[in-house]
Amino acid sequence: MYQHNQGAERSIVTTSVDDMLIASSTASESDAVVAVLASQFEITDNGEPKLHLGCSIERNRANRTIQLNQHSYTKSILRDFGYANCNSVSTPMDPGAQLLPATAENSLKVKDYPYTSIVGKCMYLATCTLPDIAYTVHELARFMANYGPPHVAAAKHLLQYL
């Protein structure tokens, strides 16, 4: 992330590999930043952003709001793990869940379950657009190297919540 300030004008530029977003206090400030970048790099202006790093961007200029969501990324997670048509639950974690380190015997029972992949993908959701799952993801991440059936059950519960 880069920031440009000149008097009352301000621009914030985010980059990821070859994608860039520019947010400026005025259109003229945005044009000035684009001109500086264009003088140094070959750039393409794709207009109003709709998608960036898996986040959908919905802007309502009349209400002066911007909404971010990851609906399509969330749906792809559910499809990947066979939960696209599951019954939903109202909380990200079962209130009665007891997550403790797994015994070696219990770890073997679920060693082929894609637990770490689920937790990793959900971590991206929690840090970008779904803070309501952050605590659950944090608790699941504590056991990435030592999970058992209760942890898998909690991960499945989280998928049902999504």
Q: Which pLDDT tens digit goes with each residue over 21-30? A: 898 999 899 8
Domain co-membership, 65 together with 118:
no
108 and 155: one domain?
Answer: yes
> Same structural domain for residues 34 and 55?
yes
Decide: residue 12, CB within 10 A, 0-12 exposed, 13-18 middle, 19+ buried: middle
Closest by CA to 52, choosing from 17, 92, 6, is 17
Residue range of the domain that includes 30:
2-69
Same domain for 24 and 98: no
- Express each pLDDT in 80-126 by its tens digit: 999 999 999 999 999 888 898 888 888 889 989 999 999 999 999 99
Domain closes at, from 69, 95, 113? 69
Strand blocks (E) in the chain:
2-6, 9-16, 19-24, 51-52, 55-60, 65-69
For the chain, how many structural domains are there in total? 2
The model carries a pTM of 0.76
- Asked whether residue 134 falls in the same domain as residue 82, the answer is yes
